[in-house]
Amino acid sequence: MLFNSYTFVFAFLPITLLVFAVLVARAPRRLALGWLIAASVFFYGWERPENLVVLGILLVLNFWAGVYLGHHGGEWRGRVVLVLGLAGNLGVLGYYKYANFFVDTLNATTGASLPAANVILPLGISFFIFQKIAYLVDAYHGKTRGYNFVDYCLFVTFFPQLIAGPIVHHSEVVPQFTNRKNYRLNSEDLSVGVTQFVLGLFKKVVIADRMALYATPIFEAARTGATPTILDGWIAALAYTFQLYFDFSGYSDMALGLGRMFGIKLPLNFNSPYKAVNIVDFWRRWHMTLSRFLRDYLYIPLGGGRKGTLRRHVNLIVVMLLGGLWHGAGWTFVFWGGLHGVYLVINHAWTAWRGAHRTAAQPSTRLGLWTGRSITFFAVVVAWVFFRSADFGTAGRMLEAMFGERGFSAISSYDAGTAFAWLAALLAVVWLMPNTQEILAAYRPALDYERPDDGKPGRGFTRWVQWRPTSPWAIAISLIAIFTITQMSRISEFIYWQF
């Protein structure tokens, strides 16, 4: 079931909220949590009920493995269970997500003709398997306490974050499930949550889906062998850059808003990444919970930066290659990850050089800030070409178009002036405008978000658009919601749902 569908907005969400409100007021806590689990399971199995089999088996096995590790972590028996648990989770992920990738690669490199596996990828499998891996590792190290099965089930299945994140840590949400006052419905949580949800829905439906109309035809033309003009190439690359941004930003806002409606604060997962002044800063802002997982459960165990500069650079490349593979079963995703790994190595080398020459590691002037931001944005746009392209041939033709006129117009069904007006406006938005959490800063819109400037209100335009539970804001959000709903005639999935 899609967040941006009439079924979700007008049926599933209000029914789930209404029943939950009654239960938290009159029934035992576990019954209210049980209702949320049942609603989440229904949400996940709406289109493909068979997905519930994989989710259910993994949920039960990982819960009992976690209980065992909680009692025997550090012992040889605990190490065996941990290895088996990690291997089992990764094996399931490998089969569903990478079986055909492996077969295609083997056929291409050896000339074999192995048949493709008949595999349907369960929604969100990469997200909830990483969530379970983190849980098992933490249980082994004694960082979890004895969660009961109901709390664990809700931790895994809670529908706002089940399919596309954030990758929630058990210590972030389970205590909220166990504390009744944290999930009882109240007017502030509802108004903040609805505002976040509506703003996210607007980003997805009105902006991201519109950008797809510019990006998709040109990338598809390049896939079929056409080489677009330089104009088409940059329109497509920038349109996809903003499509992905507002698609993922919209989903992240909607997930936070849905959680908040039920009194649960989820961790921040998206924080204006195109405002980043370097590529390290970008990965602190883009898919923040994935970056945290890769750092804590892969980069640091590999040695991080503790074993010298060369080892750190190798670790960065390895982590980003695997991060790219996590995003998709294709060599273009792997290359995209490796390219970002090279970016990070260059970034760290530059920072070290500047530090050695006793200059600021971060931009200290407005010119330096905008220079860093522009270079980072350019590097990210180039990398997105590989992320979006179906194969290297498509990516090559797109890059040829962007950096060398070929004289072929891939499509003629758009107004270039309108396209560039949209792109310029969106660039101004992502660089200059406050984001959703800054607008809602006074009401802690995410679990780990604190109001900037030590609690002081924002300055200038940011202060002017600070959200408050007032009639003008209620009218504004209502109008945005009505307009957005009228644009929902063409329902499209979120890009990150395929991962």
Looking at the structure of the chain, the number of domains it has is 2
Confidence band of 363 (pLDDT split at 50, 70, 90) = low
**360 has pLDDT over 50:** no
Looking at the structure, do residues 486 and 355 belong to the same domain, yes or no?
Answer: yes
Q: What angle do CA 416, 418, 421 make, to 5 degrees?
A: 110
Any domain includes 478: yes
Per-residue pLDDT for 323 more than 50?
Answer: yes
Q: 2 - beta bridge partners?
A: none
Q: Assign 3-class secondary structure to 452-468.
A: CHHHCCCCHHHHHCCCC
Domain boundary among 154, 185, 216: 185
**Cα–Cα distance, 322 to 330 (Å, whole number):** 12
The per-type count for the chain, helices as H runs and strands as E runs, is 23, 0
Judgement on whether residues 101 and 224 belong to the same structural domain of the protein? no
- Residues 379-397 have a mean pLDDT of 95
pLDDT recorded at residue 306 = 84
Distance CA 233, CA 227 (A): 9
In a domain, 57, yes or no: yes
One domain, residues 196 and 177:
no
Phi first, then psi: give them for residue 469, nearest 5 degrees: -80, 70
Enumerate the active-site residues: 327
Q: d(Cα 67, Cα 71) in Å, to the nearest integer?
A: 7
Q: Please check whether residues 272 and 383 belong to one and the same domain.
A: yes
Residue 148 C-alpha from the chain's centroid: 28
Task: Calculate mean pLDDT across residues 403-409.
Answer: 64
18 and 32, same structural domain?
yes
Q: Per mean pLDDT, which range of 71-85, 109-123, 309-323, 469-483 is the poorest? A: 109-123
Q: How far apart are CA 321 and CA 93, in angstroms?
A: 17
Q: Is residue 285 part of a domain?
A: yes
- Do residues 204 and 2 touch, judged by C-beta distance below 8 A? no
Judge if 152 and 201 occupy the same domain. no
Task: Work out the pLDDT band at 439, boundaries 50, 70, 90.
Answer: very high
Q: In which residue are the tokens 């941004």 written?
A: 245
> Residue 405 — pLDDT band, cuts 50, 70, 90?
low
Which residue would you say has higher pLDDT here, 24 or 88?
88
**What is the mean predicted confidence (pLDDT) over 395-423?**
77
The C-alpha atoms of residue 290 and residue 283 are separated, in whole angstroms, by: 9
Structural domain contains residue 1 = no
Q: What is the pLDDT of residues 140-179, one digit of tens each?
A: 988 887 788 998 999 999 999 988 879 998 888 888 887 7
Domain that holds residue 366: 189-498
Regarding whether 258 and 178 lie in a shared domain, the answer is no
Assess whether 439 and 304 both reside in one domain: yes
454 pLDDT higher than 50: no
Q: If pLDDT is split at 50, 70 and 90, which confidence band does 75 have?
A: confident
Helix 366-388 with 392-403: angle, nearest 10 deg: 140
Q: What is the pLDDT of residue 258?
A: 96
Q: What is the pLDDT of residue 451?
A: 59
- Mean pLDDT, residues 347-365 taken together: 70
Q: Out of 156, 185, 214, pick the residue that ends a domain.
A: 185
Q: Same domain, yes or no, for 150 and 105? A: yes
Q: Which of 150, 185, 220 is the last residue of a domain?
A: 185
Cα 247 to chain centroid, rounded: 10
Q: Which DSSP category does 3 fall into?
A: T
Q: Which residue, among 53, 230, 212, has the nearest Cα to 125 in the 3D structure?
A: 53
305 is written with which tokens?
Answer: 């930066």
Residues 166 and 222 grouped into a single domain: no
Q: Are residues 171 and 198 in the same domain?
A: no
Statement to judge: residues 205 and 226 lie in one domain: yes
The identity of residue 188, as a single letter, is E
Taking the C-alpha atoms of residue 158 and residue 161, their distance in angstroms, rounded to an integer, is: 6
- Is residue 418 predicted with pLDDT exceeding 80? yes
Exposure string for 16-44, b = 16+ CB within 10 A, e = fewer: bbebbbebbeeeebeebbbbbbebbbebb
What is the pTM assigned to this prediction?
A: 0.91
Closest CA to 155 of 147, 398, 371: 147
Q: In angstroms, how far is CA 462 from the centroid of its own chain? A: 25
